[in-house]
């Protein structure tokens, strides 16, 4: 983040009288985040699914709870052009910065009515955890149709193709699960920022706690827990015949004070001013991925349920199951992350003196070990468990060009004889001759 943080001292919030007129905002507008950081606002406003004007899982204003500086002129232009406030704010927020890269011949030469390079020069130098991408313009009817996209950009590159495929497939399936099951994972942006900071801590995936939404689907009884028993719709899936197991069915939790507020409501961590349905709490990565109590089913079980829902074919299901099993082992701490493995490698290196100094010898051995793991020639069970990586070779990496010239007769006969002399072909031919003799 610091390597691409080009904010001026004033933009960082420090006292400065300097004014740089060539910069956006004269280099004095307060900017709270680097170019390379978490998103600053949600832009989804919900959709009318019932045709009656109500929007299910609508993004509440309480979730956008951090300052979002904007370029006022850009915001005004967008609003006057009919763009909704949330999206106008998001785009105007991008334009508080200057572009880092401008290509020769792509400034005044561009036609902004049919080209988007000027917008992309701003968009593509804001490296946030999620990126909203409008369709690129089509210059002809034969151009491929590319729709609206959302990039999930926070994942780190793993050492092997298997790991990268596992996490990529999981993210895609999770998006499909959220859409199909109409799940709501929103928490305040300030808590998203806190999660990112916590994720940078050592061994955070195993020992860290992260804010996560308690209920991903609407509650079935009561909408705020005021003196009434209430439970998550997932509780019945976990314990359909025993209401006593439901977290919220404890008698003491239903006691109310003089204002009619239940004990459970008072002790539940919630977004400011929100009700239980929009509450969140701290969870471990194991709980987020595999479930907690009878109210939070976990992301991996939900993805597995989605695969059953769409009747995933057996071949794809088998491979996806390997990916989900691997991610689950990482989430529960049975397999270490690449960061932990690298730290352990350094600590166990004969040249390491325990002084936090990575010598050239240690760095070289570490890079060679990472290369061998990625190529499948070295297996680390604490990193990959029983999942074997097939060795990668540059041979056959490119498509073989289909030869069009005719084969000479002598070459053809030699190829046929070589095939005919194979053991399997010889046995088949002998069997065929013996059948004819009978």
Answer whether 188's CB lies under 8 Å from 59's CB. no
> For 392-417, what is each residue's pLDDT tens digit?
877 766 666 666 666 677 776 776 77
> For 83-110, what is each residue's pLDDT tens digit?
988 899 999 999 998 888 878 887 888 8
Average pLDDT along the chain: 80
**How much is the pLDDT for 438?**
56
First and final CA of the chain: distance in angstroms? 81
Environment class of 193 (CB within 10 Å of its CB; exposed 0-12, middle 13-18, buried 19+): buried
**How much is the pLDDT for 228?**
43
Q: How far apart are CA 307 and CA 316, in angstroms?
A: 10
Give the range with max mean pLDDT: 102-106, 117-121, 174-178, 406-410.
174-178
The pair of three-digit structure tokens given for residue 81, joined into one six-digit string:
């052009």
Answer whether 95's CB lies under 8 Å from 68's CB. no
Q: How far apart are CA 64 and CA 41, in angstroms?
A: 6
Q: pTM value?
A: 0.76
Bridge partners for 262 per DSSP: 256
Q: What's the average model confidence in pLDDT over 51-58? A: 53
> For 251-287, what is each residue's pLDDT tens digit?
454 555 554 444 544 444 454 445 676 788 999 999 9
- Provide, rounded to the nearest whole percent, the portion of the chain with pLDDT above 90: 38
pLDDT band at 190 (very low <50, low <70, confident <90, very high): very high
The pair of three-digit structure tokens given for residue 96, joined into one six-digit string:
């508080």
């Amino acid at each position: 983040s610091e390597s691409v943080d080009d904010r001026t001292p004033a933009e960082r919030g420090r006292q400065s009288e300097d004014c740089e007129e060539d910069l956006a905002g004269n280099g004095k507008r307060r900017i709270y985040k680097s170019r390379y950081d978490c998103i600053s606002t949600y832009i989804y406003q919900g959709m009318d699914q019932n045709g009656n004007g109500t929007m299910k899982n609508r993004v509440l204003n309480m979730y956008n709870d951090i300052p979002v500086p904007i370029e006022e002129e850009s915001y005004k232009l967008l609003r006057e052009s009919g763009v909704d406030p949330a999206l106008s704010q998001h785009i105007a927020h991008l334009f508080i910065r200057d572009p880092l890269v401008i290509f020769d011949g792509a400034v005044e030469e561009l036609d902004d009515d049919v080209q988007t390079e000027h917008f992309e020069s701003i968009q593509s130098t804001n490296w946030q955890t999620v990126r909203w991408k409008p369709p690129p313009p089509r210059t002809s009817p034969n151009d491929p149709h590319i729709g609206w996209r959302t990039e999930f950009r926070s994942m780190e590159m793993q050492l092997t193709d298997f790991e990268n495929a596992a996490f990529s497939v999981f993210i895609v399936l999770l998006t499909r699960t959220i859409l199909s099951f109409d799940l709501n994972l929103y928490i305040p942006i300030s808590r998203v920022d806190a999660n990112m900071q916590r994720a940078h801590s050592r061994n955070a995936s195993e020992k860290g706690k992260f804010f996560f939404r308690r209920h991903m689907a609407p509650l079935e009884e009561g909408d705020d827990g005021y003196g009434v028993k209430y439970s998550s719709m997932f509780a019945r899936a976990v314990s359909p015949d025993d209401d006593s197991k439901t977290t919220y069915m404890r008698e003491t939790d239903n006691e109310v004070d003089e204002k009619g507020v239940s004990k459970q409501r008072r002790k539940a961590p919630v977004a400011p001013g929100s009700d239980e349905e929009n509450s969140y709490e701290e969870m471990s990565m194991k709980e987020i991925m595999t479930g907690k109590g009878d109210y939070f089913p976990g992301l991996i079980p939900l993805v597995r349920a989605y695969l059953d829902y769409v009747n995933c074919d057996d071949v794809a299901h088998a491979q996806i199951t390997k990916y989900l099993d691997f991610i689950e082992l990482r989430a529960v701490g049975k397999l270490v992350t690449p960061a932990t493995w690298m730290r352990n490698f350094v600590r166990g290196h004969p040249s390491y003196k325990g002084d936090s100094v990575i010598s050239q010898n240690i760095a070289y051995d570490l890079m060679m070990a990472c290369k061998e793991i990625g190529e499948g020639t070295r297996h680390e069970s604490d990193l990959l468990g029983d999942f074997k990586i097939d060795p990668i070779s540059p041979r056959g990496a490119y498509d073989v060009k289909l030869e069009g010239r005719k084969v000479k007769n002598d070459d053809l006969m030699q190829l046929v004889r070589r095939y005919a002399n194979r053991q399997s072909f010889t046995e088949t031919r002998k069997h065929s001759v013996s059948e004819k003799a009978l």
